[in-house]
Amino acid sequence: MSDDFPDTLTPLIAERRGDLIRLTQDLIRIPTLNPPGRNYLQICEFLQARMAAQGWECELLRATGTPGDCAEYPRWNLIARHRGPRPGPCVHFNSHHDVVEVGHGWTRDPFGAELVDDRIYGRGACDMKGGLAASIIAAEAFVAAHPDHAGSIEISATADEESGGFGGVAWLAARGDFAHVDHVIIPEPLHKDQICLGHRGVWWAEIETQGRIAHGSMPFLGDCAVRHMGAVLDEMERSLWPLLAAKRTEMPVIPEGARSSTLNINAIHGGASEPPEGFTGLPAPCVPDRCRITIDRRFLIEEDIATVKAEIAGLLDRIRATRPGFSYEIRDLFEVQPVMTDRDAPVVTTTAAAIRRVLGRQARYVVSPGTYDQKHIDRIGKLHNCIAYGPGILSLAHQPDEWIGVQDMIDSARVMALVLQDLLVTAA
Ligand SMILES: [Zn+2]
């Protein structure tokens, strides 16, 4: 980071404080709930109106035919672009505009965007409408300070990150929308002094144990699939979880507990299905002939997915070898490779220098326990110079009374504006 310029950005961002608060509130007040994917067009048009009025080129793009896209819930995305008068690199800020369901336990209006003691409350406040607003204010302040900057700035607001990103970043990357991009910052809530280099891998699968239906009064005439699944869970307790806990990664994953391999059982279903709401009758006596679990295995950059899958198959085969009548099926649902950007990548070193200058401390490098849209930029877009950096506290994401701190947004906007200055003015 160069000190060639007097600090014109800090006052330009400070004077936009009210605008930043209003913008964040306006975004929270558009309930872009996913599922099913509400108000995507509304939020994209709102942002388009703001950016176009300031001379940004805007593209409004519907990811037609992607999962969930339909007439009622179309998957809309926005890319806004500011080109400088000189050639140079393209710096892209990507935020998802969707938010997860509200859930229970709120003491504030989830879409009221109340400002209380420097905090703005609401679903999506930290994940990640606050980050989106901070990147917009950063870019607008930067353009005001350096209208003659080199290259271009892009700000995208994309659909469906919370449900895999297939109608958002994955779709844009497949279209080639990252082909000309040089640097990507995703303002997810990783905190203003941390640079998130990537995330662990994911494998979701469904395991089914099979039995034979019979009358519940004579279970010895059938074969209970739930008991077979019990054997699977028992074996997992005895051999799998200890094995996973012992696998440690060099990735700086936060929180600390996620620095091991993990496996969650997302769901278990067996036997009679749940009675419909309002049904007051009794169940019929049957031996369950099917039992299914959904597993969510998070793996490390040191592991490969074939080994991860073989571990589970091996466990099931061990049970089959000793347990009479045991049979199973396993079905892949979803997988994502781990991603970790190099610490020497230009977007990393530039952001680290900006954090040092704005906050007076060294940036901390972290890796996210769960995935986010960086996977698509990395794998489909083939762009490895990508990080997540943004205001907010990760543990508040998806929680009741989610909030974003105004000063945190201001500080991270200062960092983002300095990154732009370094990449599009100093170095260009
Ligand atoms: Zn998010």
Domain boundaries, the chain: 9-199+339-426, 207-271+284-336
pLDDT at 4: 53
Length of the chain: 428
Report CA-CA distances (Å) from 147 to 49, 51, 86, 210: 20, 15, 11, 67
In DSSP notation, 375-424 reads HHHHHTS----EEE--SS-GGGTTSTT-EEEHHHHHHHHHHHHHHHHIII
pLDDT at 274: 83
Ligand 1 centroid, distance to 106 Cα (angstroms):
19
Ligand 1 centroid, distance to 130 Cα (angstroms):
11
First to last CA, the chain: 13
Tens-place pLDDT, residues 19-38: 999 999 999 999 999 999 99
Residue 226: pLDDT above 50?
yes
Ligand 1 centroid, distance to 71 Cα (angstroms):
25
Tell which residue, 338, 233, 349, has the closest CA to residue 295.
Answer: 233
Whether 9-199+339-426 shares its CATH topology with 207-271+284-336 is answered no
Ligand 1 centroid, distance to 127 Cα (angstroms):
4
pLDDT at 178: 97
Ligand 1 centroid, distance to 406 Cα (angstroms):
18
pLDDT tier at 276 (50, 70, 90 boundaries)? confident
Ligand 1 centroid, distance to 400 Cα (angstroms):
15
Ligand 1 centroid, distance to 101 Cα (angstroms):
13
Please classify residue 344 by burial: count the beta carbons closer than 10 Å to its beta carbon, then call 0-12 exposed, 13-18 middle and 19+ buried.
exposed
Ligand 1 centroid, distance to 376 Cα (angstroms):
14
CB-CB contact of 304 with 310 (8 Å): no
Ligand 1 centroid, distance to 49 Cα (angstroms):
23
Residue 5: pLDDT above 80?
no
pTM recorded for the entire structure: 0.90
pLDDT at 3: 52
Please tell me the CATH code under which domain 9-199+339-426 is placed. Answer: 3.40.630.10
Tens-place pLDDT, residues 53-91: 999 999 999 999 999 999 999 999 999 999 999 999 999
Quickly name the fold that domain 207-271+284-336 has: Alpha-Beta Plaits (3.30.70)
CB-CB contact of 203 with 305 (8 Å): yes
pLDDT at 163: 92
Half-sphere CA count of 107, side-chain side, radius 13 A: 2
